[in-house]
Structure 1
Amino acid sequence: MTDLILAASEQGGSWLTTLADWTVSLMDTIGPAGAAIAVGMDNLFPPIPSEVVLPMAGLAASRGSFTLAEAILWTTFGSVFGAYILYFLGRWLGAERLRRIADRMPLVKGDDVVRSVHWFEKHGSIAVFFGRMVPLFRSLISIPAGVSRMHWWKFGLLTTAGSLIWNSIFVMAGFLLGENWHIVEQYAEIFQMVVIVVIVIAVAWFVFVRVRALLRERRDGGAERSGSA
């Protein structure tokens, strides 16, 4: 797959187009299970956008490779399966282990993990459900669900519900647009870019606030030492 993307770049083509071609080929080869595999990879590797993979399942269904219902059901199965892998990874890591890791990282504190877990325990249901409809967060939201030890069946129901809505929208779009699926690709690129920009701004703000707090602590500590001397 990586070779296909590199080849597309060398030929001036969009890597999303190459991904779409690869996805359709996979579905044509092994049927709707190929759609589940592609969407499952989207969960495990967030840079792979489901906004492109899902319409391909609809396109394959419009060509008669399998039915529309199979496309929606199999893509949802792939979403849930991939989400559970990350969920159990979060359970294995646990809050205490993540707290120790955070204490060793620059600009991050173990208390950040504790606060995040407490927040997730209060708002986790909403976060999991709506997180399935946001690029990048679609994958990452499964990890804190596991860390906070949300009941596995509750996580599964919320993930299934959110994924079913999101997948149905894009699979239907691919089914109705057919060979004109590139319209979805254009909007998918814009949508993903907006999310990335928002994340970059949020991270930059977090770093700014944390660095400012560290500088203030050092300044106050230096003033106290000078006063005691």
Structure 2
Amino acid sequence: MTDWIQSIIESVGYAGIAFLTFIENVFPPLPSEVIIPFAGYVTTNGSLTIIGVIIAGTIGSVLGALPLYYLGYFIEEEQLKTLADEYGKWFMISPKDIDRASSWFEKRGALAVFVCRLIPGLRSLISIPAGIQNMSLLPFLLLTTLGTAIWTSLLSWAGASLGNNYSNIQNYLDPISYVVFGGMIAWYLYHIFKKTVIED
């Protein structure tokens, strides 16, 4: 997976970063924790800038939040839970995940949209209860943009600060990443098998 992410960033640049972060929001198993640090590292050779990476990553992530926001906006919560129960296994979303994100929103209101953009696992899902609660689009976009910009800035800086060490670390990470990715695929297939065969 890391090779695929790197090839897109290296060949398409900012548009690739925006595309990957958009997909990451809709399909969470694609991690921003891999996308943005590598983009930050690429800035050390001059082909990209930190500001450009932050802007591209933020734009892609905000655009990726909109489908989930509108999903919550146009579909009632119970219907969403039913859909999550029936089809969520393919997207790693369960009714409990929706409840968890809704609980955050109910306790903290609009502030949850900002805070959750900094929390892995809730970054994408918080858009659903924001839509369910009919949060106004402008505040949603502003808070999502602010939280996402901070998250992207931190990850970009982390990648850039490693400098040349990133490539050295990558030599050790590549074999590990294949094992981790293989484990993720195996876990994903088991999750689907469990939901489809065992629990049904």
TM-score (norm 2): 0.69
Give 1:12-31 correspondences, 5 Å limit.
18-19=1-2, 21-31=3-13
Question: Partners in 2 of 1:118 and 1:46 — Cα distance?
Answer: 20
- Contact in 2 for aligned 1:72/1:167 (Cα 8 Å): yes
Q: 1:169 to 1:117 in 2, by over 3 A?
A: closer
Aligned counterpart, 1:138? 123
Report Cα offsets for 1:184-229 as digits up to 9, x if no partner.
x8xxx9xxxxxxxxxxxxxxxxxxxxxxxxxxxxxxxxxxxxxxxx
Of 7, 10, 19 in structure 2, the residue corresponding to residue 37 of structure 1 is 19
Asked if 1:154 is matched to 2:136, the reply is: no
Percent of aligned positions that are identical: 43
* Unmatched runs of 5 consecutive residues or more in structure 2: 87-97, 178-200
Question: 1:121 offset after TM fit, Å?
Answer: 4.9
Question: Partners in 2 of 1:24 and 1:98 — Cα distance?
Answer: 34
* Unmatched runs of 5 consecutive residues or more in structure 1: 1-17, 106-112, 190-229
Which structure has the highest helix share of the two?
1
**What is the aligned length?**
159
Question: Partners in 1 of 2:73 and 2:157 — Cα distance?
Answer: 34
Question: Partners in 2 of 1:119 and 1:61 — Cα distance?
Answer: 35
Cα RMSD (Å) = 2.9
Aligned counterpart, 1:57? 39
Report Cα offsets for 1:29-81 as digits up to 9, x if no partner.
11211111111111111122211111011012222222111111000101101
Report Cα offsets for 1:159-185 as digits up to 9, x if no partner.
0010011110010111121243349x8
Which one scores higher on RCO, CA 8 angstroms, separation ≥ 6?
2
Question: Partners in 2 of 1:143 and 1:179 — Cα distance?
Answer: 40
TM-score (norm 1): 0.61
Aligned counterpart, 2:76? 94
